Amino acid sequence: MAKRTDPPRRQRDARSDASVGSVERHIEGTYGLPTGSVTISRPTGRDARSDKTVGRLKREYEKP
């Protein structure tokens, strides 16, 4: 098995009390993406508000 040369970037799932905006910024920073390039969307396809929590967003996806 080949040895990993780069350190792992993603360590764990987002906390349920984290805001969607902070998760978007974290993803952009981790992968060196430009600001505004990452958007997290709701099940309807619209962008999620940046102050919405990850837990509330997960509940939207679990609704039948």
For 6-57, the pLDDT digits (tens) are 776 666 788 899 999 999 999 999 889 999 999 999 999 999 999 999 999 9
Q: Is 80 exceeded by the pLDDT of residue 2? A: no
pTM, 2 dp: 0.78
Domain coordinates in residue numbering, the chain? 20-62
> What sign does the CA torsion over 25, 29, 35, 39 have?
negative
Q: In this predicted structure, what is the pLDDT of residue 19?
A: 96
Q: In this predicted structure, what is the pLDDT of residue 22?
A: 95
The tokens describing 11, both together, are 């360590």
Q: In this predicted structure, what is the pLDDT of residue 44?
A: 94
**Axis crossing angle, helix 20-31 with helix 54-62, rounded to the nearest 10:** 100
Q: Are 23 and 58 in contact (CB under 8 A)?
A: no
Q: In this predicted structure, what is the pLDDT of residue 12?
A: 75
